[in-house]
Amino acid sequence: MPDPRFYHRAGPFELGAVAKVAHAELQGDFDPRAPLADVASLRSAGAGDVVFLSTEKHAAELVSGACGACLVSAPLAAKVPKSAAVLVTKDPRAAFADVAAMFYPPALQTLPASEHISADAQIAPDAALAPGVVVGQGAEIGARTRIGANTVIGRGVKIGADCEIGANVTLQYCIVGDRVLIHPGVRIGSDGFGFVTTAVGLRKIPQLGRVSIGNDVELGANCTIDRGMLDDTIIGDGCKFDNLVQIGHNVVMGRNCIVVAQAGIAGSCTIGDGVVFGGQVGIADHVTIGDGAQIASQSGVSRDIPAGAIVMGYPAKPIRQFWREVAAIAKLTRKP
């Protein structure tokens, strides 16, 4: 469930009210007065939660007792276990956007102008805050951690011990480990880029997850890491990012990865340990990359990459094949 440090939940709401907001049809023999507690991802849902199922691929995650109600299209309705209420709708993702906004109405993130450091923030006595730092309500800053000038730490953010956070940084909706080095201008925890197309334009899907940064991570200047939609965006221990790197929502990255400058990893990618991303690499969404794979600079990856593979190109392919093709193309223009 969305972390109460960051999100204030409304509700519970009755099943009938949820169906109405979702413009969905309640099927079967469920009491429309049954209470629903929260929204959740398929992976993390509990018995009273509302989830959505948009593709058959994820149906296996729906087991008995896994949720209270499921927004689903008619063709997939039979995939929902008997224990859950079936809410049939044409576009389950769009309907979920409405239900998520019902449980989590937009909350003020800005602070009252009167205080730079919130009185109820927990700041270690030997932490050091430079001038102009702003710390939101309930934020925690660990021992010996230093925060650079004019950096903004949002409400509920937790930073571990022995971190160095640079100047002009913005941290929101995130949990940061120990010994993390964050360079100036980094933005962690902004909204993920999720929209549904409606008749009146693009409708935002509420982003209710967090960013979790492991220990011993380094993030270069002006990097951006979006928070997850429901689950977390996760950067594993020991990862090192160069400058201007972009990480989309719900990316799960293993340990000790290297990401060179201006690379971008789109939403919901799953990255193993020790993966190396060259400069300006682009990874499409929902791609899985195995341990120790290496992606050469400027490559464009839209399919899964197995562990240990070394790929290059646009589209990316095994690096030897890339260079063979470069030679073959050059040969095409050679005069006989």
Give the residue among 324, 270, 329, 325 at the shortest CA–CA distance from 301: 270
The Cα–Cα gap between 111 and 325 comes to 56
Q: Is 196 in the site for a second copy (CB under 8 A)?
A: no
Which range binds a second copy by CB under 8 A, 6-14, 84-92, 96-104, 161-169?
161-169
Q: Taking CB under 8 A as the criterion, which residues in 227-286 touch a second copy?
A: 237-238, 240, 242-244, 246, 248, 255-256, 258, 260-262, 264, 266, 279-280, 282, 284
The minimum distance between CB 9 and a second copy, in angstroms, equals 20
Say which amino acid occupies 73: S
Q: Which of 204, 304, 309, 318 binds a second copy (CB under 8 A)?
A: 204
Which range binds a second copy by CB under 8 A, 2-10, 17-25, 60-68, 122-130?
122-130
Q: Is 120 in the site for a second copy (CB under 8 A)?
A: no
Residue 185 token pair: 């201008």
The minimum distance between CB 175 and a second copy, in angstroms, equals 18
The Cα–Cα gap between 112 and 118 comes to 9
Q: Is 108 in the site for a second copy (CB under 8 A)?
A: yes
Q: Is 297 in the site for a second copy (CB under 8 A)?
A: yes
The minimum distance between CB 83 and a second copy, in angstroms, equals 37
Q: Which of 78, 113, 119, 199 binds a second copy (CB under 8 A)?
A: 113
For 30, residues 6+ apart whose C-beta sits below 8 A from its C-beta are 15, 69, 85
Which residue's CB is nearer to a second copy, number 34 or number 284?
Answer: 284
Answer yes or no: 8 catalytic: no
Catalytic residues: 249
